[in-house]
Every structure is written in structure tokens, then in C-alpha cells.
Amino acid sequence: MGDGVRIEIWADVVCPWCGIMNERLNRALARFGHDDEVEVVHHAFRLSPELPEDHGFAVTERMTANGRMSEADAVAASTRIEDIAHEDGIERYHVADGSTGNTMRMLEVLAFAASRGIDRAAWDAAFHAHFGTRRDIWNPEALADFADSIGVNGDEALFALHTRRFAEQIEADQARAVALGAQGVPFVVVDGRYGISGVQSVDTLVDVFERALAAEDDIEAVSA
């Protein structure tokens, strides 16, 4: 048996597949058990770093930009993701009428929360805030309120945003994911050896965790 399992997950708060994968990861961990032998670390991966940080854009607007997709197809694709979330037991999951954009500020707040010892719970709350309640994740003052709601000091979080204290960490997170071969998110690495790309089933995740705990060396990369 190995010395435990380290699970790293790269995600973006506005990535709807990431929210679903996060839910499945939580369910897989609950089934797996071994709480005292598991470490989960979240990392940032911005899907739209080229966009301005101060406001969001309608999901359908971005999906139809430059004629990439018709509005009807964009709504259908978003609704399909909502249906999958509902099938997974996520009661409210707004995608089609949601927002997307450059999440640098929210990711910095999540990095600040992690520095205060709140990581998994902060990401859970972030996905719920964005997809569940459509909370503002773009305005710094709104992000300070979010920080307060998850148990970290909102004023300190706002100061961290103003000083860009965690900006380099966000960039480094993304660079490391790319170096590991990630072309998008969600992206999971188990014990620094086993890569999991895309949304996977709870059964698949549990199987990888069990084999990692047993220190098996023959686990291959898992892709969607």
C-alpha cells in the first residue's frame, strides 16, 4: 500500500463541465473513503484569459461569436449540459442563461481562500454561486462578499485582489497544467502520475483512486 493519494484538479469556475466533474469528484471521494489518506488540491485554469477581467459575457454570445455556432445550437448545447447536471443530482445548474469570461479575479479569491486553509469548500461554493444562484463573480466588492460567505475575511480578499498577490500563482497553475499535457479542463492528476482528462464517471474515479492508493504502476491516462 502507498502513503496516500494526492489528487490535483485544474478547473475554471465558468466551465460547466468542471462543475459537474467537481460534483462527481466529491461523490467519488465520499465512496472511496480513506479521508486521512487523501489530499485534494485545486488549481486554476482560465478558459478565456484574453477577455477583460471586469465583467462577464452571456454564454450564448460567446458561443455564437464569429459565427462559430448558431444561437439555437448554442442554447441546445448548454441545455444538454444542464440536463446532465440534473441527472447527476445537481438541482439548479444555469448554463444557457449564465455568464462566462476571464475569471482571474475569482480565481485569485479562491487562491486567497486556499492560503487560509479553505480549498475544496471554496471551490464547491464557487461553482454553486456561479451555476446554482448566478451570483456576481466579476465585481471585486461582490467577490469580497463571496469571500465572507465562505469564511475568509472579505476585506483581506479585496486587498489581495488590489495588490494582485495571487496573480503569478494563477499563471503558474495554468502553465503547469499545459506542461503536463492539459489542453483544457477539467484535468485531474493523481499522485503526479495518472492523468484524467475531461468528465469521468464516479466509478472510473474511484477505480483510479483505489489503484493509486495501492501504488500500482500500470495505470494509464484516462481521457473523455
pLDDT tens digit string along 57-81? 999 999 998 778 999 999 999 999 9
User: Per-residue confidence at 214, pLDDT binned at 50, 70, 90?
Assistant: confident
Looking up residue 54, the CATH number of its domain turns out to be 3.40.30.10
Strands (DSSP E) found in 73-167: 99-100
For 184-209, what is each residue's pLDDT tens digit? Answer: 999 999 998 889 999 999 999 999 99
Mean pLDDT rounded to a whole number for the chain:
93
Asked whether 98 and 59 are in contact (CB, 8 A), the reply is yes
Q: Determine, yes or no, domain membership for 223.
A: no
Measured over the CA atoms of residue 104, residue 91, residue 195 and residue 181, the dihedral's sign is negative
* Domain that includes residue 57, residue range: 5-213
User: Per-residue confidence at 38, pLDDT binned at 50, 70, 90?
Assistant: very high
Q: Determine, yes or no, domain membership for 218.
A: no
User: Per-residue confidence at 217, pLDDT binned at 50, 70, 90?
Assistant: low
Nearest to 10 by CA among 149, 175, 210: 175
User: Per-residue confidence at 4, pLDDT binned at 50, 70, 90?
Assistant: confident
Q: The pTM is what?
A: 0.92
Structural domain tally of the chain? 1
Single-letter residue type at 148: D
Q: Is 6 exposed, middle or buried (0-12, 13-18, 19+ CB in 10 A)?
A: middle
Looking at residue 57, its pLDDT comes to: 95
